[in-house]
A = this chain, B = another copy of it.
Amino acid sequence: MALKVAVIGAGSIGFTRGIVKDILAVPEFADTHFALTDINERNLDMVYRLLGRDIEASGLPATLSATLERREALTEANYVFSVVRVGGLEGFATDIDIPLKYGVDQCVGDTLCAGGIMYGQRNIPVILDLCRDISEVAAPDCLFVNHANPMAMNMWAVNQYGPDVRSVGLCHGVEGGHYLIADAFGLKREEVDIICAGINHQTWYVSIKHKGEDLTGKLLAALEKHPVYSETERVRIDMLRRFGYFSTESNGHLSEYLPWYRKRPEEIVNWIDPEYRSWINGETGGYLRVCTEGRNWFETEFPKWMEEGPQPIGPEHRGGEHGSYIMEGLETGRVYRGHFNVPNNGTISNLPEDAIVEVPGYVDANGIGIPRVGDLPLGCAAVCSASVTVQRLAVEAGVHGDDVLLRQAMMMDPLVGAVCDPREIWQMVDEMLVAGEQWLPQYGKAIEDAKRRLASGGPITPDPRGAGATRQRTRTPEEVGKARG
């Protein structure tokens, strides 16, 4: 078929190696050309060398190129995968640290809440620019596949303000929860049928079936008596108890989109298991720590990776990410069913038309078909609706560089709104705008004003609670290496 696949942000070794191996596991795609691009030359080079060796060892006719010029990678591309993280870990750190001073204690901070909202402000201009490039130089009908967070804000901006480019947003959250659910029932994942619907990271398993039997209402009991999940998934189980449906999102991430679990610093720790304590279950700034350790470790360990042999490629080594399956459906007609992020347009009838929803879809040679889901259960829709409101404000703010809308997004955010008062929010936004100046070109004027206000001493002295309820030290590459065995 000789397709061209571009990877934007290809320096993310884990993602890039995965998608390349997955695609090459499909016989029809053996001659694919992969065009890698990144703004970090060193990472791009390391990934290029690792992958080049993998491909060579596979004996497949696939080819590989790497470039710092994004448009070059995009030219005539049939598929574009993006995992860009604007601002990198440096920007990410400000998303966690500044809100913490105002009592907003996030675990992940890349989707909603103060951190996710600011992350969206950095990403939106870049993703719109990327889509303009695609519309200008990629192959006609090129599919833009976004993996970058904040998923809903990114896809909303692309669909409402971008050029006419085909796009879909992918996340593996639904699969993770699917596995957990099956496991809770002592079943295999492929035996359990699920319909999952909502918005990215707040998607609900509204139907769980095993050979036609409806298990949806039996999950709470199964989890409550499960020896591990009953400890590690405390917030998720509590949400299931209150709202009747299980959420896709990990315990810690889920807790930061809601007003109920992280607003009292002294109680956050109660929602995290004491024994299996893992960042994903709720640690303050946990994802930032893990990402930082991972990056440092990769840079240190790269020479060793090259000493190890190449990774094998083939159907038996194919991972579970949607990307290669979507390509397979579209190009070969073999039907694939997954969960995708797309504009709602009535798919979920009690969420707004313009929201980006995560829902089941079928892919074959006719395209990506998104069946109508109908109404979400009332309580689930209510929770999603609050987040959609924040996303809409954040997208409009990010596209137009309107800091008043940005502040309103923060006001309406469930956790920020539960923790802060308006003056605190105004000052926190000032600090975040100034800290992110280099990645926020659309906020020039607002940043000048914020600097002036901060220089004259803001009205608020940030809360010393800023240490975070459960923050842990970032480990050295050596420590990480030791822990990974």
Chain A residues in contact with chain B, CB under 8 A? 193-195, 207, 209, 212, 238, 241-244, 259-261, 263-264, 267, 331, 333, 335, 337, 345-347, 349, 360-362, 364-367, 369-372, 378-379, 382-383, 385-386, 389, 392-393, 396, 404-405, 407-408, 411-412, 414, 417-418, 420-422, 426
Contacts and interface: CB of A to CB of B under 8 A. Distances in A.
Given A259-B417, A417-B414, A193 B365 contact: yes
29 contacts: A193-B365, A194-B366, A207-B366, A209-B366, A212-B365, A241-B422, A259-B259, A260-B411, A260-B420, A261-B421, A263-B418, A264-B421, A335-B337, A346-B346, A362-B362, A362-B369, A370-B372, A371-B371, A378-B396, A378-B408, A379-B405, A379-B408, A379-B411, A382-B389, A382-B412, A386-B389, A414-B417, A417-B418, A418-B418
A411 B421 CA distance: 19
Contacts of A241: 422
A242 B372 contact: no
B382 A393 contact: yes
A347 B366 contact: no
Contacts of A238: 422
A362 B379 contact: no
A267 B382 CA distance: 29
A414 B386 CA distance: 10
Contact of A412 (B195, B346, B386, B408): B386
Given A209-B366, A372-B372, A385 B389 contact: yes
A362 B335 contact: yes
Contacts of A404: 244, 379
Contacts of A193: 333, 364-366
B365 A209 contact: yes
Given A259-B259, A385-B385, A417-B260, A345 B366 contact: no
Given A209-B366, A361-B371, A393 B379 contact: yes
